[in-house]
């Protein structure tokens, strides 16, 4: 049997999911309270709580004190996209990773750039242009700005050996990030770098990361044609 007992939180979670997909508990319905369910399932309230909390986290239930727990009316699918370091991404595809740093500049950012990425007015920046390769073929082209106020040590790092991407993940393990996924036509420069026709449709990721309120880095990643990002709910 693949059945779980209803006195484990996972078992209760499945049972509740079953009742929802059964439509015994329909969207919008109030379901029994934790104490009542604990009695029914013959377990402690904490166990029921764990199960219901997880379902609420994944957007299937709405819980409010005093109001009780309801089946969500318009469930919002929450897909978790795993965003590994680019090297891992390439290696997962069974290819050999390499990269070239095309250019690197340490400079004060232009006003435009500062505004675009929400960088402090006086921040010294490092600009990095990198081409990531899979089995030698262009995989993604990266433009990156790094705030040297927050990460001064990166100046001395050997970014030809360990990519900035990876250096930052290792040295700044904690950060808030904002990702934007979009599509764009290859510019002339991008088509040369990525070895694809001009105007080819490219998958683009923009990413900004902060530690507390300090902008660390802003990246624009342009993937070679054929790239796709997969995820499971």
> Which spans of this chain sit near its own copies (rule: CB under 8 A)?
17, 20-21, 27, 60, 71-72, 74-85, 88, 169-170, 172-185, 199-204, 211, 223, 225, 227-233
Candidate residues 40, 46, 105, 106; the one interacting with DNA per rule CB under 7 A: 46
DSSP H or E segment with residue 100: strand 97-107
Judged by CB, which is closer to DNA: 66, or 153?
Answer: 66
CB of 175 to DNA, least distance (A): 24
Give the whole-angstrom CA distance, residue 138 versus residue 155: 26
DSSP H or E segment with residue 19: helix 9-22
Nearest in space to 106 (alpha carbons), one of 128, 78, 83: 128
Taking CB within 5 to 8 Å according to partner kind, which of DNA, its own copies, none is near residue 66?
DNA
Coil, helix or strand at residue 122: coil
Coil, helix or strand at residue 169: helix
CB of 208 to DNA, least distance (A): 29
Taking CB within 5 to 8 Å according to partner kind, which of its own copies, DNA, none is near residue 82?
its own copies
Rounded to 10 degrees, the C-alpha dihedral 44/48/49/52 comes to 180
Judged by CB, which is closer to its own copies: 74, or 161?
Answer: 74
Binding site for DNA (CB under 7 A): 7-11, 33-35, 42-47, 49-50, 52-53, 56, 63-69
């Amino acid at each position: 049997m693949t059945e779980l007992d209803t006195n484990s939180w996972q078992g209760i979670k499945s049972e509740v999911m079953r009742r929802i997909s059964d439509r015994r508990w329909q969207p919008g319905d109030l379901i029994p309270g934790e104490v009542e369910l604990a009695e029914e399932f013959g377990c402690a309230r904490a166990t029921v709580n764990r199960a219901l909390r997880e379902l609420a986290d994944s957007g299937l239930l709405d819980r409010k004190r005093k109001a009780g727990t309801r089946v969500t009316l318009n469930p919002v699918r929450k897909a978790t996209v795993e965003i590994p370091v680019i090297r891992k991404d390439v290696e997962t595809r069974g290819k050999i990773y390499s990269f070239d740093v095309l250019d690197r500049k340490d400079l004060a950012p232009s006003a435009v750039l500062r505004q675009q990425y929400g960088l402090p007015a006086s921040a010294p920046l490092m600009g990095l242009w990198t081409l990531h390769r899979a089995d030698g073929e262009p995989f993604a082209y990266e433009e990156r700005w790094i705030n040297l106020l927050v990460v001064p040590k990166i100046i001395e790092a050997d970014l030809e050996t360990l990519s900035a991407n990876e250096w930052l993940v290792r040295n700044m393990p904690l950060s808030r990030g904002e990702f934007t996924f979009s599509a764009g036509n290859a510019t002339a420069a991008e088509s040369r770098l990525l070895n694809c026709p001009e105007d080819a449709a490219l998958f683009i990721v923009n990413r900004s990361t902060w530690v507390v309120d300090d902008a660390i880095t802003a990246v624009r990643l342009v993937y070679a044609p054929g790239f796709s990002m997969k995820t499971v709910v």
